[in-house]
């Protein structure tokens, strides 16, 4: 099973046209849909505040290990993984894993009702840096 991170890096570095890139990305993402939805649900079932994301960090490291990607813990709950040869071009991805301390009325039940897992565009940081 190809992980979403590997898929994005592979497609980014390939020489396909923008249209081919988009079509291939959607096709492969659809094939990984069940895995992605499951991982998202596991993360959102147990939201954790900043620097307390022990369960989330463990889940991320476990999934990386299942994909054969070496990784290491940093700063207590952070995760760093190196993919590729180590030669240029370099691509760095960063994503927030923490929840915000909010209380909202939702038609669903969270395991920790005083924390809200706000992940997605505009809600949490996902940065991509290329060098």
Contact 93, 126 (CB under 8 A): yes
Residue 25 belongs to what H/E stretch?
Answer: helix 18-31
Query: What confidence score (pLDDT) does residue 112 get?
Result: 54
In the chain, the domains with their CATH numbers are: 4-130 (3.40.630.10)
Confidence of residue 2 (pLDDT cuts 50, 70, 90): low
Q: Which tens digits make up the pLDDT trace of 104-121?
A: 666 665 555 555 555 544
Query: What confidence score (pLDDT) does residue 20 get?
Result: 80
Q: Which tens digits make up the pLDDT trace of 30-81?
A: 888 898 889 889 988 888 999 999 999 999 999 999 988 899 999 999 999 9
What span, in angstroms and rounded, lies between the C-alpha atoms of 30 and 112?
30
Is pTM beyond 0.75? Reply is no
What span, in angstroms and rounded, lies between the C-alpha atoms of 77 and 109?
25
Contact 64, 83 (CB under 8 A): no
């Amino acid at each position: 099973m190809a992980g979403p991170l590997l898929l994005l890096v592979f497609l980014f570095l390939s020489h396909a046209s923008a249209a081919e890139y988009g079509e291939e990305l959607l096709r492969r993402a659809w094939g990984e849909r069940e895995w992605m939805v499951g991982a998202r649900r596991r993360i959102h079932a147990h939201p954790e505040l900043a620097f307390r994301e022990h369960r989330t960090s463990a889940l991320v490291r476990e999934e990386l290990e299942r994909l054969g990607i070496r990784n290491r813990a940093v700063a207590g709950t952070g995760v760093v993984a190196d993919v590729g040869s180590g030669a240029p071009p370099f691509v760095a991805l960063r994503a927030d894993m923490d929840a915000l301390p909010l209380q909202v009325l939702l038609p669903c039940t969270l395991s920790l009702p005083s924390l809200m897992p706000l992940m997605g565009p505009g809600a949490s940081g996902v940065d991509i840096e290329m060098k």
